[in-house]
Structure 1
Amino acid sequence: MTSPKDLSQNGRYPAGRLAFPHRDLTGIGQLERHEILFLLDEAEQWIDLNRQSHKHNDALAGLTIINAFFENSTRTLLSFEIAGKRLGADVVNMHAAQSSVKKGETLIDTATTLNAMRPDAIVIRHGSSGATQLIASKVDCPVLNAGDGSHEHPTQALLDALALRQALDARGEASEDFTGHTIVICGDILHSRVARSNLLCLQALGATVRLCAPPALMPAGIEAMGAEVFNDFDAALDGADVVMMLRLQTERMSGQFIPSEREYHHLYGLTKKRLQACAPDALVMHPGPMNRGVEIDSEVADLIDQSIITRQVEMGVAIRMACLDVLTRSARGLEGWTA
């Protein structure tokens, strides 16, 4: 744990490599509060770059990044690809359907093969929890977790925190954290790596987090992680400042967890009427992809002054640029970041 005397002059985090001493980013659970703040602050510069007509920086020029996605993705893969290219890196995308994994190659063999190609960073998305940590233990370069099973999705939690911070700042509620804010995460909590990473991230930044789901979709013992647990959506929404909706991950379900999508929407769908139970002007979030008419109504998802769903997508590129930049600084020999 970092002591106050070790902090840099801004008081938020240590200087140089001590601000983020990790080689990999495999989960929010590995991070301290000041390390989360550091990544969010680092992303701010890339927000500005991404809003310019010339969206390019040569910070990672000459470096090779492999996006190894063993699980289908559109927005996460595209976001990481854009992030790497805007930083000037050579980006290679590897899809599982085109890899030797489909021919019976083990994950360890794949990691060894990728490592032999001497990449400077590897971004991993895999359907099995712990797969990214396993690969990280077998390669010589930084590994970023782009989602592993039902375990974690750290960059999603970071981009959500950045989007929320930006939205609150635009309202004149600027603060370094979310102390005093109540955030509801509702949906398929059981299968959601996004929910787990967000719970860890938001709590680290001072927020009160309420989790809401049908009993069959609520992990047993989740209260131990400090969340307030609800099965009644209307009760969970009472006075909330932010509502984050999650989709039903039917691809991870074996058996029947809900009676029907219609019944689910009746009990757990975010409607304009339901939103009235929240604090005035409560913010609406969704990590995507959305199932409109199931977990969220279109008139709520598209609320101009309250929905920050498109802002979340925008922040995804900036936070992934920040992560790629920070994790490759040692390899680039930057002052204060060499071992």
Structure 2
Amino acid sequence: MTEQTDSEGRLRHLLTLEGLPREALVALLDRAGAFADGFDARDALAGTAVCTLFFEPSTRTRLSFQRAAQRLGADVLGFDAATSSTTKGETARDTLRNIEAMGVRGFVVRHSGDGAVAELAAAAKAGTTLVNAGDGRSAHPTQGLLDMLTLRQALGEDFASRRFVIVGDVKHSRVARSDLHALRTLGAGEIRICGPASLLPGDDTLAGCTVTHDLDAALDGVDAVMMLRLQRERMEEGLVASLDDYHRDYGLTAGRLRRASADAVVLHPGPMNRGVEISDEVADGPQSLILRQVANGVAVRMAVLEALLA
């Protein structure tokens, strides 16, 4: 995989949280925390062009990256695959090279292929930097960072005594993988994984985690519940008997949430399938930090763009 850092240890790209040193991860979270508190850096990227190069649909990630770049003073170019030359057969690599030729230094890339962003980073010229905004099932590093920032704000910076549970479709989730990398790096005390066997990965993704198919047991005493969307666009037929059955067995309801600690918080990366993985009363309830995650997305993406491009 393309190296994320240069010869002096500075971030050149952000492709994954796997292997990112703790000090680098914490530095990004600290800077994002300052931005979330209102720190002004409106000229940090003045004169720098940033392109959101999305080959998959997105709402929160695309708009928050655009908002983050704008708040740093960057020139922002939007790319829509549906109306671009990719519909005429142009490759992602040629698209990148052509936009580079226009003087763009920073690219925020979302792609359906596992490892696709790293491949583009390897093809990029010196001085170009890429941020992975989600590739296939592999990684979504800025989502992992914004989830960690949200958890730090709610629970404090010491994760060692905390218990976390990730619930749902881990098999197809790049968010879950990035959250797991970050939680391990930050020293989480216990990480539980809950979901149907058909939606849990068979590799070493869950190493060190407590795995269960019983949601009630998984929720007992946890400090944070991290729900996942059913990735129906990525899964084969038959992995879930029905959406009603899934909600019955793995949907988070107010009654179930009472099994967690009294001050437990609930996260969801969006978009939510209300009534499937989460009920309205939980999604909109006092323990939900879902909209705070969205707000923190701007702060985290400001920190990442500044670190890479300023």
Question: TM-score when scaled to structure 1?
Answer: 0.85
Q: CA deviation at 1:176?
A: 3.1
Return the letter of the residue paired with 2:252: L
Change in 2 beyond 3 A, CA 1:234/1:68:
same
2:3 is aligned to none
Q: Displacement, 1:67? A: 0.5
1:315 to 280, 292, 296: 296
Residue 73 of structure 1 deviates from its aligned partner by 0.4
* Contact 1:19–1:35 (Cα < 8 Å) also in 2: no
Task: Deviation per CA, 1:16-64: give whole Å up to 9, x if none.
Answer: x9996220000001301111101001112211227xxxx7711111000
Larger CA deviation: 110-119 vs 136-145: 110-119
Q: 1:133 aligns with which of 118, 133, 146?
A: 118
Structure 2 residue corresponding to 1:63, chosen from 34, 39, 48:
48
1:19–1:38 contact (8 Å) kept in structure 2: no
Contact 2:177-2:205 within 8 A present in 1 as well = no
Q: 1:248 aligns with which of 221, 224, 230?
A: 230
Q: Aligned match of 2:23 in 22, 25, 34?
A: 34
**Alpha-carbon distance in structure 2 between the residues aligned to 1:154 and 1:223:** 15
The C-alpha deviation readout for 1:300-321, integer Å capped at 9, x for no partner, is 11222x1111110110000000
| SS of residue matched to 1:251 | coil
Q: Residues 183 and 18 of structure 1: is their aligned pair in 2 closer, same or farther, counting only changes over 3 Å?
A: farther
Given that residues 180 and 206 in structure 1 are in contact (C-alpha distance below 8 angstroms), is that contact kept between their aligned partners in structure 2? no
Q: Deviations over 1:216-248 (max 9, x none)?
A: 000003465322211111121121111011111
The answer to whether structure 1 residue 88 and structure 2 residue 73 are counterparts is yes
The answer to whether the Cα contact below 8 Å between 1:283 and 1:307 also exists between their aligned partners in 2 is yes
Higher relative CO (Cα under 8 Å, sequence separation at least 6) belongs to: 2
Instruction: Give distance in 2, aligned partners of 1:152 and 1:288.
Output: 16
Among 176, 183, 199, which residue is 1:202 paired with?
Answer: 183
How well do the aligned residues superpose, as a CA RMSD in angstroms? 1.7
Equivalent residues of 1:49, 1:56 under 8 A apart: no
Counterpart in the other structure of 1:171? none
Query: Post-superposition shift, 1:167?
Result: 1.6
Q: Which amino acid is the alignment partner of residue 166 of structure 1?
A: Q
2:142 to 155, 161, 171: 155
Residues 297-336 of structure 1: pairs in structure 2 closer than 5 A = 297-304=279-286, 306-329=287-310
SS of corresponding position for 2:131: strand
Superposed displacement of residue 272, structure 1? 1.0
Which residue, out of 271, 274, 277, partners 1:289?
271
AA aligned to 1:43 is A
Distance (Å, rounded) in 1 between the aligned partners of 2:257 and 2:161: 19
- Aligned residues between the structures: 302
What corresponds to 2:151 in structure 1? Answer: 164
Distance verdict in 2 for CA 1:18–1:211, change over 3 Å: farther
Q: Shift in Å at residue 196 of structure 1? A: 0.3
Any runs of at least 4 consecutive aligned residues in structure 1 with deviations exceeding 6 A, and if so which?
17-20
Structure 2 portions without partners, runs of 5+: 1-5
